[in-house]
A = this chain, B = another copy of it.
Amino acid sequence: MVTIKQVSELAKVSSATVSRVINNADSVKLETRKLVEAAMKELGYRPNSIAQSLASNKTNTVGYVVPQLYGSFGIMMSGSEEVLRRANKHMFIMTGHSNEKDEKSAIEALLMRRCDALILHLESTSDEYLIELAKQKVPFVLVNRVIEAIEDNCISLDNHFGGYLASKALIDKGHRDIAYIAGSLWKSDAIERLQGHKEALAEANIAYDESLIYEGDFQVHSGVEGIETLLNAGKKFSAVACGNDEMASGAIGALRDAGLKVPESVSVVGFDDVEFSNYLTPRLTTIRYPMKEIGQMAARWILNRAYENSSMQLQHVLSPHLIERESVCDAGG
């Protein structure tokens, strides 16, 4: 690999001057600049950014931890990438695999690489660890989770409001017997969404009926099981709200298998608006989880706090909204 030294020799200037033209900072006479550029070109010079980082003590890289590389996290990352790219920052992406050990070691690796800042989508790391991280002055934003003590570092979605919106959409169509298939209730988002559902019921003066609630686990099969359980118990309902789109998909299938038409006999709302919800039959009415916007917002936070030292206020809690498609219709068909 060709170094700055070789370029400087060919151009008959000092390496400091070459460095100046690379960073096109300071003043370099146009004439010498041309000379240096010609030399760089001739030698096929590529600045070694490892060395640059060591010397300048910044990597222009933000570390990213996501549970997995596929699925909706990709959307989020591409939101971040879009805004970071404009600022000439890069992302170093690692996966946490939803377990504490991997999440921590991902963060450690990122810190060893001296990332200038971090964007973290964690699932198993403790609040304490993150609070400690904040104490160490590591600039990071925590996505999809809020920890009171470091609230300013958090960007999240208003799950409660989303849950409310979903059920409200059903109620507005005249439904009153509404079943609910929840996600794993040890997860905060599942709880919040369910609470939103309850609020919508309360607001419409519909009595909350515990037996219309089924606790699933966010997977397709639990949507199926939810419907089967409800139906076998002889429950009556004209609509089902689901904790996410996967379960909604399972629910639709199970309803169809039971000879019930969606939405004519039973309306269904999902949550998240994942890619396939638009491909279901009927196309799924759901709550849009603004993954891309969250990714963008996180990147903006980083740009502000870690690179520009501004502390401009950003929106920390994003609002979901309803996407009306075909899986919900008026009560009574």
Contacts and interface: CB of A to CB of B under 8 A. Distances in A.
A90 B102 CA distance: 13
Interface stretch (A50-58, A145-153, A315-323): A50-58
A68 B85 CA distance: 13
B74 A70 contact: yes
Contact of A94 (B50, B54, B90): B90
A262 to B, nearest CB: 10
In the assembly, how many copies of this chain are there? 2
A222 interface: no
Contact of A114 (B50, B81, B90, B113): B50
Contacts of A276: 275-276, 279
B54 A81 contact: no
A333 interface: no
Chain A residues touching B, range: 35 or more
A77 B50 CA distance: 24
Nearest to A53: B50
Nearest to A68: B78
Contact of A113 (B50, B71, B94, B256): B50
A49 B113 contact: yes
Contacts of A1: 114
A275 B249 CA distance: 13
A51 B49 contact: no
Interface stretch (A104-112, A121-129, A172-180, A205-213): A104-112
Task: Name the residue among A47, A51, A70, A91 with the largest chain B CB count within 10 angstroms.
Answer: A70
A83 interface: no
Contacts of A50: 50, 53-54, 59, 113-114
A24 interface: no
B49 A114 contact: yes
A49 B113 CA distance: 5
B74 A78 contact: no
Contacts of A111: 46
Interface of A: 1, 46-51, 53-54, 59, 68-75, 77-78, 81, 90-95, 108-109, 111-114, 249, 256, 275-276, 279-281
21 contacts: A1-B114, A46-B108, A48-B54, A49-B112, A50-B50, A50-B53, A50-B54, A50-B59, A51-B54, A68-B78, A70-B77, A73-B74, A81-B95, A90-B109, A92-B92, A249-B279, A256-B281, A275-B275, A276-B276, A279-B280, A280-B280
